[in-house]
Amino acid sequence: MDYNLTISVKASPQHAFDCINDVQGWWTENLTGKSVKLNDEFTVKFGDVHISTQRLVECVPGKKVVWLVTASKLNFIENTGEWTGTRISFEIINNNDKTELRFTHYGLNPNVECYEACSNAWGPYIQQSLKSLINTGEGNPTKKDL
């Protein structure tokens, strides 16, 4: 029931891992903190609509990245802290000449208020921006607030 999707990329598992950790390269340039190694914390901001803080709780080079959302404020729903306590997981599987990336946002399911809006946002970030960053070196993150 948790939101998930899978993409295939033309890159090594380690390159995919490095690109996942380059959050500013594919998700948003509005990031403070670090997103590279175990226990790093970072906060992302999408205007006044979404602010969330993630901590890297699992970080296995070339294999897996898991973020625990430690704080969230989603101003477009009643329960603004709905993401708090959820986990965002990237599993990386070597599949011969391609690498498979399995994305799951544990806790984001059809029973929560932000499911439609959040799943509609995750889709392009993973299937287009992250995939492009891995395959071409160019993602399409939300641009930095001025």
Cα 105 to its chain centre, rounded Å, is 8
Beta partners for 46?
50
CATH code for the domain in which residue 9 is found: 3.30.530.20
Q: Is residue 145 part of a domain?
A: no
Which residue matches tokens 């598992």? 13
Reported as a single tens digit per residue, the pLDDT across 76-106 is 999 999 999 999 999 999 988 899 999 999 9
Flag whether pLDDT at 132 surpasses 80.
yes
* Helices H / strands E in the chain, number of each: 4, 7
Q: Is residue 20 part of a domain?
A: yes
Reported as a single tens digit per residue, the pLDDT across 33-77 is 999 999 999 999 999 999 999 999 999 999 999 999 999 999 999
Reported as a single tens digit per residue, the pLDDT across 14-33 is 999 999 999 999 999 999 99
Domain encompassing residue 13:
3-136
> How many domains, in total, are found in the chain?
1
- Cβ atoms within 10 Å of 88's Cβ, excluding its own: 20
Q: Is residue 144 part of a domain?
A: no
